[in-house]
């Protein structure tokens, strides 16, 4: 059973700072859009991990602690502005 079959569809779905923690972002996106009513709106955010932020982390000595592989529940995916396209 899909989530939309169980809970219905909505005019607005909001997902803040979640996508970078999921193993399968395409499945996440398909599920997100499945939860939308026709013409609905999805609002998705993810942290910015661009060049300037990485430079600031490196200069401050916090780069390793920010990207550590030992951070339980931490970010497992990183997205750029170029990743803004519909799930395929």
CA distance 17 to 47: 7
| pTM more than 0.85 | no
| 17-28 per-position pLDDT tens digit | 888 778 888 898
| 4-57 per-position pLDDT tens digit | 999 999 999 999 988 877 888 889 889 999 999 999 999 988 877 677 777 887
Query: Of the candidates 44, 56, 37, which has an alpha carbon nearest to the alpha carbon of residue 86?
Result: 44
φ, ψ (nearest 5 deg) of residue 43: -115, 120
CA distance 16 to 44: 6
CA distance 79 to 49: 7
């Amino acid at each position: 059973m899909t989530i939309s079959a169980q809970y219905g569809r909505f005019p607005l779905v909001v997902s803040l700072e979640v996508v970078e923690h999921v193993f399968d972002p395409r499945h996440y996106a398909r599920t997100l859009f499945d939860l939308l009513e026709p013409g609905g709106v999805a609002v998705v955010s993810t942290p910015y991990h661009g060049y300037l932020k990485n430079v600031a982390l490196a200069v401050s000595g916090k780069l390793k602690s920010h990207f550590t592989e030992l951070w339980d529940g931490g970010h497992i995916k990183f997205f750029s502005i170029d990743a803004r396209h519909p799930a395929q």
